[in-house]
Structure 1
Amino acid sequence: MTWTVMPTYDDYETARAEFAWDLPDEYNPAVDFLRKHDDASRTALRYEDPESGLETYSFDDLDERSDRLAAALADLGIEAGDRVGVVVPQKPQNPLTHLANWKLGAVSVPLTVLFGRDALRYRLADSEAKAVVVDPSVRETVDEIRDDCPALEHVIELGDGDSVAGDAHAFDDLLATHEPGIEVYDATPATPTAIMYTSGSTGPPKGVRHSHALWLGRAAAAYNYFDQGLAAGEATVWTPADWAWGAALGGTLFAAWHHGCTVVGWPRDGFDPEAIYELLERHDVTGAFMPPTALRMLMGLDDPEGRFDLSLETFASAGEPLTSEVVDWVESTFDDVAINEFYGQTELNLVVGNSSRWFDTQPGSMGKPLPGYEIAVLDPDTHERLERGEVGELAVRPGDRRVFFDEYHGLPEKTASKRTEDGWFLTDDLVERDDDGYVWFVSRADDVILTSGYRVGPMEVEDVILVHEAVEQVGVVGVPDDTRGEAIKAFVKPAVDDYDPDTLRTEIRDLVRDRLAEYEYPHQLEFVETVPTTTTGKIRRRSLREREGIAEE
């Protein structure tokens, strides 16, 4: 029972020619991640609790605790197919909840603690979550929105009976009052596993339903972008990214456990480069998944290899284009540390990347298709295949349909529009492929903003800003930013003539932080007399970008 889906290949062409998906007939990720290893007493998780210090968990420990939680959830009435929200940062209770869900056949809904009231309400209500496990930091918010989530029967808060008040269940007490030994749900790669939400660039965020094959697809990709260095019992990985994000949850945390490696959990506040290097040294981290924004922040500290005893072998990066300055910095600053970039979507797994082991990294390019996927550049209107050097929409076709998403939850028409008649999945990203096979990003076909590694839909930000009584109209776009890749800029037309710009600017930013997420507030805000619209009243974001001097390809 190995379920290894990506063997080692020494060269790219061999990997492309020989690799084929070989998914098992029966598959439960909880069994894969915890029970298949030769030595389940090895450390799976090293968790740095800000208050109590270091905690370590073996694969056996996680198996036993997730068994207890699964039994408790079953007593609460959670059954196969039920949705369970997970609003927990980088703490052990986050993966424990996912594992317990899958042991019951339940479906996880990963959500970030950075979400505010409106963002959480929409996702919990839309997914029809029956239960939600929450960090104490978001308990008050969940209580405020609970009446708007009619399917939500149970709130489980981290802590024990002494710290958890009201009608929420105490997470620790549930584990203490239930026994391990639950019978694991008889699952396959096609069993529903999670609903993950898109950024909502052209409307409300869409719930993307995946099956268990998702985790095998992520594990295969991680093996490549961690430079085939995920050796069981040897590699240790860490990411600053929230475990609600697919690349962090599936491509780092669960991919490492699939391969039998150790993960470091650290629910930090802020991003202190010196503290990050100290963490990498303290835990002998060999592979770090770092969005380009995080890498650019690390660049501010001189001589990290001279100041810290690092075990780093690979930086993996995603979320926004990786610039040449970052690649050059890694090559000039570290000895024998690879940097690999990869591209994917919530719906489509991780499908294109720069693999320094296989071919020369071309800074600024997205790389080449990973083994197990075909790509094509299609005419956005006709879906006809274009020649090399022509700009069109990136389309992807997997060798096994199951490693891509199943559907948009409750949106059959949206689901159908994501795929062409001959099986190509559309990305809404415009690219060009050169004669050497490298894919180069040109522009987005939608208006999604890539800021600090997060994908932000402008409509969701606009809708919240419009809640303010002093705002009549608003348009939101991304503008170039040296640190974040893109910064969110809002063009606001006030509804009143008599206003204080500084006060209104602060109120708008606080409103977005409270209702959406910390990373979604507008770093730049300009008050304008008019916001350009189409004849049907839609915001013309292209005009706003042109106003900022941002070229449209």
Structure 2
Amino acid sequence: MTRTGTDPWYCGLEYDSYEQARTEFEWDLPDGYNLAYDLLRKHPNPDWPALFQASPDGRRETYTFRDLDRLSNRVASALEARGIGRGDRVGVVVPQKPENALTHLACWKFGAISLPLSVLFGPEALGHRLRDSGAKAVVADASVRETVGEVEETCPELEAVVVVDGGGEGNDDSFESLLDEGAEECAIAETDAETPAIIIYTSGSTGPPKGVLHSHGVWVGHCPAFAMYFELDVDGTYWTPADWAWIGALGDLLFPAWHYGQPVVGSPLGKFSPEEAFSLMEEFDVTGAFLPPTAIRMMMGIDSSTYDLSVEAICSGGEPLTPEILAWADEELDGTPVNELYGQTEANLLVTNCREWFPARAGSMGKLVPGHDVRVVDPETGEELPVGEVGEIAVRREGDPVVFSEYWNRPEKTEATRIGEWHLTGDLGSGDEEGYLWFKSRDDDLIITSGYRVGPREVEEVLLDHEAVAQVGVIGVPDETRGEIVKAFVQPVGEGSETLREELQDLVRERLAAYEYPREIEFRDELPQTTTGKIRRKDLTD
């Protein structure tokens, strides 16, 4: 389903060279831009497949763009009938099922703000996000209805709970009832590229998770990078095992693919299985995949030659790719390019690789994506630093659709990321003479484990709630498979023990999420502190 660049809603890269693209590309979003229209209604063939749904029980379903448009119309009108209006926040706690995407699309059709949330969240993590956002409704999978129930009473603005594959009991609605009651036709609200559309929560190192507000222009802003890391040929079928609650799944693959009118595979896998990953890629002739480095390392232990694969390019991000990953893809996947990408929830897909345009360099994140003005600056002055000098990676805010609007209800935090015309990413890096960007480190203590971002402060607060914990410090330590793992240094009230260690791990699993629990816990008689009594995380490994 090949497109041309004549449609102003289309965001392609039909250029002869990278240099030409960087020079000539401009954002050209029309007045009245709306995400749902872009993703569903602009396509010349609405009966083209949009979603191949693979259920764990073996069922296979295909949804066209027309199907998704019709079904999300029903959801939109049913939510409006329940009093959800423009600007209201709607939580989406659903795995890779059609109901996940349908809820987002429905919200954007009538001007509500969707709120992607992970099914892995425990009550503390989920409750904070629902309360902080002031969510008025939540669409939740039946598997997490109990968790929602634990926090409902602490969320005063929450008025409606809709259950996927369940519901209909008490005050709950079932998702099926939305589809039954909703109208087949639905007008799209008046919006533009700056209208608020989605809040995605990110974990920081110094406080509770912050809501990152993005506008309707956000996903089209990801499309030039999508075209680059999939080697400029966007016609294909796409899949990622990543949870449809993160910007890496939604922005790196799902919604850009639909912008280009291409099908995506959805499958609620649960715990990642490399065998299942290869099987899905084979069954659906997946040509492009977004795979976190941890997933790739697990797949490297499987004999890929037993699968008949159609994959043409892989993109990966969240942590640096190692030379072993690139060598494996070259040898075992017949030279399939694995292109690293760089971004963050606040400003995603700023840097990537494209072998069609320039060679990849081991250790480098790649070059700047057309449409984004990225520099290495002095964070104190905002002045650009010379080539080779380490500074903070920054992106010019004005006119860039991927740069976030604000941290929800945290104006001081928003302002702290800005200096002059720049958004400061909090990442340190440097550039070279040929335009490659090199990541050095975070300038805070954020932990990236298996592609998930973990704020140590949140884990510390949970551990401190245990009566046997006097002090605690949490850091990330290197791990061969996961990149980093969460490690907690605990000063116990009495003696540390294996029983206490297990209790603390279970506490984090239950209240936050399984990926946030400390895989290692070291008991110490005392922890290094500042003069004001704060734990010096950087001194914990000394």
Smaller-chain TM-score bracket:
over 0.9
Report the Cα distance in structure 1 between the residues aligned to 2:107 and 2:270, rounded to whole angstroms.
28
Aligned twin of 2:309 = 310
Aligned twin of 1:128 = 134
- CA deviations over 1:192-212 (Å, ceiling 9, x no partner): 100111112221111111100
1:510 matched to 2:517: no
Report the Cα distance in structure 2 between the residues aligned to 1:393 and 1:403, rounded to whole angstroms.
18
Letter in 2 for 1:62: L
Aligned twin of 1:387 = 386
Report the Cα distance in structure 2 between the residues aligned to 1:59 and 1:243, rounded to whole angstroms.
19
- CA deviations over 1:62-116 (Å, ceiling 9, x no partner): 1111011111101100111111000001000000000110111000011110111
Aligned twin of 1:249 = 250
Aligned twin of 2:320 = 321
How far is 1:219 from its partner? 2.3
Letter in 1 for 2:454: V
Structure 2 stretches lacking a partner, 5+ long:
1-6
Q: 1:2–1:36: 8 Å Cα contact kept in structure 2?
A: no
1:435 matched to 2:433: yes
**SS class of match (2:245):** coil
- 5 Å-filtered alignment, 1:397-546, equals 397=396, 400-421=399-420, 423-497=421-495, 501-545=497-541
Letter in 1 for 2:280: L
Distance 1:16 1:201, change over 3 A: same
Aligned twin of 1:98 = 104
- 5 Å-filtered alignment, 1:125-274, equals 125-159=131-165, 164-231=168-235, 235-274=236-275
Aligned twin of 1:45 = 51
**SS class of match (1:381):** coil
Q: 1:491–1:528: 8 Å Cα contact kept in structure 2?
A: yes
**SS class of match (1:350):** strand
Report the Cα distance in structure 1 between the residues aligned to 2:456 and 2:173, rounded to whole angstroms.
36
Report the Cα distance in structure 2 between the residues aligned to 1:544 and 1:14, rounded to whole angstroms.
49
Q: 1:372–1:398: 8 Å Cα contact kept in structure 2?
A: no
Report the Cα distance in structure 2 between the residues aligned to 1:504 and 1:153, rounded to whole angstroms.
39
How far is 1:336 from its partner? 4.2
Letter in 2 for 1:420: I
Aligned twin of 2:343 = 344
How far is 1:502 from its partner? 1.3
Q: 1:466–1:472: 8 Å Cα contact kept in structure 2?
A: yes
Report the Cα distance in structure 2 between the residues aligned to 1:357 and 1:537, rounded to whole angstroms.
53
Aligned twin of 1:298 = 299
TM-score calculated relative to the size of structure 2: 0.96
**SS class of match (1:5):** coil
Aligned pair count reads: 536
Aligned twin of 2:3 = none
Q: 2:329–2:335: 8 Å Cα contact kept in structure 1?
A: no
Letter in 2 for 1:488: V
How far is 1:427 from its partner? 0.9
Report the Cα distance in structure 2 between the residues aligned to 1:152 and 1:344, rounded to whole angstroms.
32
Distance 1:252 1:124, change over 3 A: same
Report the Cα distance in structure 1 between the residues aligned to 2:13 and 2:374, rounded to whole angstroms.
21
Report the Cα distance in structure 1 between the residues aligned to 2:14 and 2:397, rounded to whole angstroms.
20
Report the Cα distance in structure 1 between the residues aligned to 2:153 and 2:46, rounded to whole angstroms.
43
How far is 1:473 from its partner? 0.8
Q: 2:238–2:265: 8 Å Cα contact kept in structure 1?
A: yes
1:30 matched to 2:28: no
Task: Give the percent of matched residue pairs that are identical in Structure 1 and Structure 2.
Answer: 55
Report the Cα distance in structure 1 between the residues aligned to 2:170 and 2:355, rounded to whole angstroms.
53
Aligned twin of 1:551 = none
- CA deviations over 1:490-519 (Å, ceiling 9, x no partner): 10111123x5x1111111111111111111
**SS class of match (1:403):** coil
TM-score calculated relative to the size of structure 1: 0.95
Q: 1:32–1:258: 8 Å Cα contact kept in structure 2?
A: yes
- 5 Å-filtered alignment, 1:12-91, equals 12-51=18-57, 53-91=59-97
**SS class of match (2:502):** helix
- CA deviations over 1:318-375 (Å, ceiling 9, x no partner): 1111111111111121224221111101111210112222211111111111111222
Report the Cα distance in structure 2 between the residues aligned to 1:123 and 1:317, rounded to whole angstroms.
27
How far is 1:227 from its partner? 1.5
- CA deviations over 1:237-282 (Å, ceiling 9, x no partner): 0001001111211221111110000100010122221221111000
**SS class of match (1:416):** helix
**SS class of match (2:366):** strand
Structure 1 stretches lacking a partner, 5+ long:
548-553
Q: 1:373–1:399: 8 Å Cα contact kept in structure 2?
A: no
Report the Cα distance in structure 1 between the residues aligned to 2:169 and 2:8, rounded to whole angstroms.
44
**SS class of match (1:373):** coil
**SS class of match (2:419):** coil
How far is 1:414 from its partner? 1.4
How far is 1:52 from its partner? 5.6
Report the Cα distance in structure 2 between the residues aligned to 1:520 and 1:542, rounded to whole angstroms.
19
Report the Cα distance in structure 2 between the residues aligned to 1:386 and 1:37, rounded to whole angstroms.
44
Letter in 2 for 1:418: T
Letter in 2 for 1:28: N
Letter in 2 for 1:340: N
**SS class of match (2:68):** helix
Report the Cα distance in structure 2 between the residues aligned to 1:382 and 1:529, rounded to whole angstroms.
42
Report the Cα distance in structure 2 between the residues aligned to 1:385 and 1:200, rounded to whole angstroms.
25
Q: 2:211–2:408: 8 Å Cα contact kept in structure 1?
A: yes
Q: After alignment, is 357-366 or 60-69 more displaced?
A: 357-366
How far is 1:399 from its partner? 6.4
Aligned twin of 1:108 = 114
Report the Cα distance in structure 2 between the residues aligned to 1:116 and 1:482, rounded to whole angstroms.
27
